[in-house]
Amino acid sequence: MKTKSIRGQIGIFGRRNNGKSSLINTIAGQDVAIVSEIAGTTTDPVRKVMEINGLGPVVLIDTAGIDDIGQLGEKRIAKTKEILKTIDLAILIIAQNTFGAFEKELVSEFREFEVPFFVVHNKSDLTSIYPETQRLIKASLNTEVLDFSCSNSPAVDRLVGLIRKFMPESAMRHNTLVGDLISYGDTVLLITPIDIEAPEGRLILPQVQVIRDVLDNDGVVVVCKEREIDAYIRKMDPKPALVITDSQVFPKADASIPRYIPLTSFSIVLARQKGDFQNYLKGTPHISKLKDGDKVLILESCSHHVSCDDIGRVKIPRWLSNFTGKKLEYTVVAGLNEIPGKIQDYAIVIQCGGCMITRKQLINRLKPATDAGVPVTNYGMAIAYVHGIYNRAVAPFVKVQNASEDYL
């Protein structure tokens, strides 16, 4: 089963004063981006959420001009290029029949990050696109070219039609979290510790997402803390078809849940749905190969207040050091901040579940490591590995013999 995702991300790119902001305002039907004749008005990316018939909710992202100048201009361009790692569709805006080095560089980056795109020749009320220009762009880029004016209502309909055509289906839909593991009426037991890191008065996002996914797939959800597992599992009838635990209490869950009941973690569920799961499977066993002095990069893709027993900064380093018996160096990077040094400097990369970012952001976050051959893993998979329950934790999703041949 597949369910709707939150929002497709659409980036608007082009030179200064080509009308990127005006185009976003036209699509949105309201003034959401500042429009000015002064070049470089748009500095930081501006986002507008809107509904497009036939697609659902999308995010339009206005970016700084790719031809910006000066030191600040270079920083704006860098932010514009960072957006390429997060978007699902790009619209390249040109004007006055100008398609040169700036546009070619953008197209090259679209292709590097596998972002579908089309071209809009804007301000057609002032200068229409030359037939030869349109033909050459279409032939060389193998995409559509729309002659467009923000004052032309029918043109807006054609623009929205191209957005529908080029938006990849994967951007608007995502695979179920656990729907393919359960049947109608099955019970899924969720083990959710309420500790110092638990948010006051609410559940964390992965727990909420799993609850909704089980309900969407006609299952029954039972939620308890780790202290109640033993008593509840004894009287639970029928037994759960699947148990999902917080990774931090994996050992307790493993000891309490009978072996015939599948057990995994919220982090591993997310890794399968939106992470680089196959590379995680390959990379996790490299934990056993870490040596003294190796650098471990921990990527935490959200920003939060750090507690005294933080999972990424404290617990995972402690568990890794105890398991390997090696003196390791740890670097933790929060959000989507720049990774210090060269990616080749790190012996392994450990990525969080990524509940606060899109699959596109997560895959591109790990891309430098996978391209360089640096092993990557995930919080839940790494925690399961160092506690000796890795095979059991990934078994609901893969055959054990394919997951970790060298670690039994």
Q: Is the pLDDT of residue 42 over 80?
A: no
How much is the pLDDT for 79? Answer: 86
More confidently predicted of 278 and 172:
278
How much is the pLDDT for 290? Answer: 97
Beta bridge mates, 121: 94, 147
Q: Are 93 and 33 in contact (CB under 8 A)?
A: no
Domain limits of the chain? 2-173, 176-268, 284-403
Look up residue 61 and give its two tokens. 């992202």
How much is the pLDDT for 196? Answer: 57
- What is d(CA 312, CA 352) in angstroms, rounded to the nearest whole number? 8
Domain 284-403 grouped into CATH 3.40.190.10: no
Task: Provide the Cα torsion 276, 280, 282, 284; round to 10°.
Answer: 170
Question: What is the topology classification, in CATH, of domain 176-268?
Answer: Rossmann fold (3.40.50)
Helices (H) then strands (E): counts for the chain: 16, 16
Rounded to an integer, the average pLDDT of 155-182 is: 85
Cβ partners under 8 Å of residue 154, min gap 6: none
177-205 per-position pLDDT tens digit: 999 999 999 999 999 988 656 667 778 88
More confidently predicted of 377 and 36:
377
DSSP H stretches of helix in 257-296: 266-274, 277-283
Residue carrying the six token digits 């529908």: 164
- What is d(CA 352, CA 71) in angstroms, rounded to the nearest whole number? 34
How much is the pLDDT for 194? Answer: 82
71-92 per-position pLDDT tens digit: 888 888 888 888 888 899 999 9
Q: Is the pLDDT of residue 326 over 90?
A: yes
Among candidate residues 226, 161, 218, the one with its CA nearest the CA of residue 190: 226
How much is the pLDDT for 98? Answer: 94
Q: Using the CB atoms, write b or e for 105-120: b if 16+ within 10 Å.
A: ebbebbeebebbbbbb
How much is the pLDDT for 355? Answer: 78
Which range is most confident: 218-227, 270-279, 392-401?
218-227
Q: Is the pLDDT of residue 394 over 60?
A: yes
Cβ partners under 8 Å of residue 62, min gap 6: 12, 20, 21, 24, 33, 42, 45, 46, 47, 48
248-302 per-position pLDDT tens digit: 899 999 999 999 999 999 999 999 988 899 999 999 999 999 999 999 999 998 6
Put residue 246 in one of left, alpha, beta given phi > 0 → left and psi -120 to 50 → alpha: beta
Of the given ranges (19-28, 112-121, 190-199, 382-391), which has the lowest mean pLDDT?
190-199
2-173 — its CATH code? 3.40.50.300
Cβ partners under 8 Å of residue 183, min gap 6: 241
Pairing of strands 8-14, 187-191: unpaired
Q: Is the pLDDT of residue 407 over 60?
A: no
CA 117 to chain centre: 19
